[in-house]
Structure 1
Amino acid sequence: MTNDPKKPQGPAGYASPPCYASEVAPDYFDPLGVDPTQAADVARWRKATRTQLRDARMKMSVADRQAIAGALITHLGQLLQERFAGARDMVFSAYWPIKGEPDLRPLMTQLHDQGVTIALPLVETKAAPLTFRLWTPDTRMVRGDWNIPVPPPDAPALTPDITLAPLVGWSADGYRLGYGGGYFDRTLAALTSRPFTIGVGFEAARLPTIYPQPHDIPLDVIVTEAGVRGNK
């Protein structure tokens, strides 16, 4: 973080600009008031925080990670039942777990068996919105961007009604710290009909704020092993 006296300062009572996460109240940051220098500070903070949170979750034991995934599957199942009557005949976009993310593949199979259409997101064009393609338990996966298993190119393209968003970090106001590529926000902005968005992550990855920028889009709810956050 820089300490440039020319940078805009906060309102009276705050000695530091908004990028100082340890010194500024989370509800103080104005996402529409950023300047290029401030945005660069936020980007550096996010990169460092992203690395810290990813390292922490990779150090979790397999047993702990499995227990958290089990709790998440329970909470997600209850959420889908309460809000969407189980989401039968709807398109539900999940994700293939990487880099210590909670493994929700049993939920994908469970929902498929209950009549939910399952899609997986994939990068087909760099720096463009994601594509969603049909997944079933019989799908022969291929290696996609970042070597992530994805449905093959001939799998039908779908538009999700509900989509999961894996979280590296999250804040109580519904904002997501992702991997930094901007694909999820870019995709939401491009969809004509926005899906119901569910952030999925670890309770320990909660942050006071991610210092939201104008391009950041808040999620509808966030689900951790502790339960469901948000009431949209």
Structure 2
Amino acid sequence: MAHGADDRRGAQYSSPPCFMHELEGHADRETPADPAQWADVRRWRKAERERLIEDRLAISAEARGNMSAAIAAGLDTAIGGLRGRTISLYWPFRGEPDLRGWAAGVVERGGGVALPVVIEKARPLVFRSYRPGDRLEKGVWNIPVPADGAEVLPDIVIAPLVGFDAKNFRLGYGGGFFDRTLAALPRKPLVIGVGYSMQSIATIYPQPHDIPMDFVVTEIPG
């Protein structure tokens, strides 16, 4: 399912931080009134992240494979033509949808694939070109990254997520790489979140630094 900016289908409500009624925000973001409240937001996100990852890891390998195939089909529908377009993907980690087979298909259909690489903590990611069979090396968290790929600027960024909300804000792993990278790019790519429908939550309580995805694709056809 592709969830647009105003799509609220499938939202699952979680227990909010107890102080959230005190936040002063606007249509898309809620800004804590003081640093102590932002610390509470971070603690809430950490607990929600742990819950969602645990739920994701509980999905059977067979079910995860079927859902990954459905997400790949959803991406084909959402993106359309691939020829001449560079798509940043990711190496699956901790139960994320496995789109490596789809990545090979992107190359076969004339598109380019890149993988994100952490160069330094608290710095934007870089994207290195990748083709199935290219030499890989261990990156952060031992996630494979291209050893020799040239740096490229993607047209489309496929972003795995831990959770997502009704306004397509992304709950990630807490390192801030996603938002930092998008803010630093010289031109904005199309940003597509991918995950399972059970990762939908009512809100991540977005802050001024959070950048929403353009839409989210799950295993449920939309």
2:113 aligned with 1:118, yes or no? yes
CA RMSD of aligned residues (A): 2.0
Say which SS state the counterpart of residue 102 (structure 1) adopts. Answer: coil
List structure 1 runs of 4+ shifted beyond 3 angstroms.
27-30
| Whole-angstrom CA distance in 2 between matches of 1:101 and 1:69 | 9
Q: How many residues align?
A: 204
Aligned to 2:133: 138
Higher relative contact order (CA 8 A, sep 6+): 2
Structure 2 CA distance for partners of 1:43 and 1:209, relative to 1, 3 Å: same
Distance in 2, Cα, partners of 1:93 & 1:19: 38
Equivalent position of 1:62 in the other structure:
61
State whether structure 2 residue 171 is matched by structure 1 residue 172: no
Seen in structure 2, the aligned counterparts of structure 1 residues 19 and 93 have a Cα distance that, compared at 3 Å, is farther
Q: How far apart are residue 19 of structure 1 and its match?
A: 6.9
1:184 to 178, 183, 193: 178
Which residue in the other structure is 1:39 paired with? 38
The corresponding residue for 1:102 is 97
Q: Name the CA distance, whole Å, in 1 between partners of 2:208 and 2:28.
A: 12
Tell me which residue corresponds to 2:155: 161
Would you say the 8 A contact 1:171–1:208 is kept in 2? yes
CA distance in 2, matches of 1:206, 1:109: 28
Task: Give the partner amino acid of 1:163.
Answer: V
Q: TM-score w.r.t. structure 1 length? A: 0.83
Please say if residues 161 and 194 of structure 2, whose CA atoms lie closer than 8 Å, have aligned partners that are also in contact.
yes
Deviations 1:74-95 (Å, cap 9, x if unpaired)? 00011111xxxx1210110000
Secondary structure of residue in 1 paired with 2:20: coil
Q: Match for 2:130: what amino acid?
A: W
Question: Pick from 222, 226, 229: which aligns with 2:216?
Answer: 222
Structure 1 residues 113 and 36, CA gap change in structure 2 (3 angstroms): same
Give me the whole-angstrom Cα distance separating, in 1, the residues matched to 2:96 and 2:49: 13
Aligned equivalents of 1:135, 1:175: Cα separation in 2: 27
Please state if 1:213 is matched with 2:201.
Answer: no
SS at match of 1:87: coil
Amino acid at match of 1:17: F
- Corresponding position of 1:129: 124
Distance 1:48-1:80 versus aligned 2 partners, 3 A rule: same
